[in-house]
Amino acid sequence: MPNHARLRRFLADMTSLVGGARQDQDEAAVIEVGGQLLAALVAHDDWLPEAMAGGASEGYLQHLLYCDPHERFSLVSFVWGPGALTPVHDHTVWGLIGMLRGAEVDQRYELDPASGQLCPGPTTTLTAGDVAALSPTLGDIHQVRNAFTDRTSISVHVYGGNIGSLARHRFDLATSTARTFISGYSNATMPNIWDRSRDGESAG
Ligand SMILES: [Fe+2]
């Protein structure tokens, strides 16, 4: 039995955070404190339900773990199959990436307003326990790949909106042109983390 209490604690703290600080006015505070909450969540690998941690024999999956009723934030698990690679894309809202298992490579891009060209920014390799932030203010264009070609990696992301339902952009690097997309989610059902009668049962 996964440690649902840990996930519930995170969701309660995130709900307080986005309710207490108007994210459109104080994005930096949400990112800072949200990053600390996410770091605490991914510091332990005992809470992600198994159904939300698999299924990507190739490519990647985005499982919705929770969406705030007011769509102020959503939480997803990204399952990266061996060698999985995203297109270059943006988010249009703030996002926090927490590495739970394995590792991923986060290649940032910046749009040069003068030329309209995408320019490569920093590359960071995230390993288990690491947290990275992005936002339209900080820069929110990147390409992500699994750092491993022989195993699955998993990262847990928090976004400042219902990320699977937002219109955002994929970029063609050769031409720096953007195409609108809506990612949706890979899962049709979400984990039941609210059955407290089962808390404390051992995994398996
Ligand atoms: Fe992304």
| 89 marked as part of a ligand binding site | yes
Residue 197 lies in a domain: no
Q: Does residue 153 lie in a domain region?
A: yes
Would you say residue 200 lies in a domain? no
Of the candidates 193, 45, 27, 189, the one whose C-alpha atom is nearest the C-alpha of residue 127 is 45
* Whether the Cβ atoms of residue 77 and residue 98 lie closer than 8 Å to each other: no
Q: Grade residue 102 by pLDDT with cuts at 50, 70 and 90.
A: very high
Distance 159 CA to ligand 1 centre (A): 10
CA 203 / ligand 1 centre spacing (Å): 31
Q: Considering the entire predicted model, what is its pTM?
A: 0.94
Separation of CA 26 and ligand 1 centre (Å): 22
Annotation-wise, does 4 bind a ligand?
A: no
Tell me the CA–centroid distance for residue 141 and ligand 1, in Å. Answer: 7
Reference 193, options 42, 62, 75, 44; nearest CA is 75
Buried b (16+ CB within 10 A) or exposed e, 46-57: ebbbeebbeebe
**Res. 116: pLDDT tops 90:** no
**Residue 199: predicted pLDDT:** 85
CATH number of the domain encompassing residue 113? 2.60.120.10
**Considering the domain boundaries, does residue 195 fall inside one?**
no
What angle, rounded to 10 degrees, do the helices at 27-42 and 4-20 form? 170
- Using the mean position of ligand 1's atoms as its centre, give its distance from the Cα of residue 199 in Å: 33
Judged by average pLDDT, the poorest of 58-72, 91-105, 190-204 is 190-204
Assess if residue 41 is contained within a domain.
Answer: yes
Number of domains in the chain: 1
Q: How far is the CA of 18 from the centre of ligand 1 (A)?
A: 21
Average pLDDT, the chain: 94
The answer as to whether 199 is a domain residue is no
How far apart are the C-alpha atoms of 110 and 98, rounded to whole Å? Answer: 22
Amino acid 202: pLDDT:
62
Tell how far the Cα of 17 is from the centroid of ligand 1, in angstroms. Answer: 22
State the distance from the centre of ligand 1 to the C-alpha of 185, rounded, in angstroms.
14
Average pLDDT of span 36-46: 98
pLDDT of residue 96: 98
Q: Quick one: pLDDT band at residue 15, thresholds 50, 70, 90?
A: very high
Which is more confidently placed, 25 or 83?
A: 83
Instruction: Answer yes or no: is 70 a known binding residue.
Output: no
Percent of the chain with pLDDT over 90: 84
In a domain? residue 198 = no
Q: Which residue has the tokens 């960071």?
A: 124
On whether residue 193 sits in a domain, the answer given is no
Amino acid in the structure at residue 81: G
Reading the block at residue 115, the tokens are 């030329």
| Per-residue confidence band for 204, with pLDDT thresholds at 50, 70 and 90 | very low
Q: Which domain does 63 fall in, by range?
A: 4-188
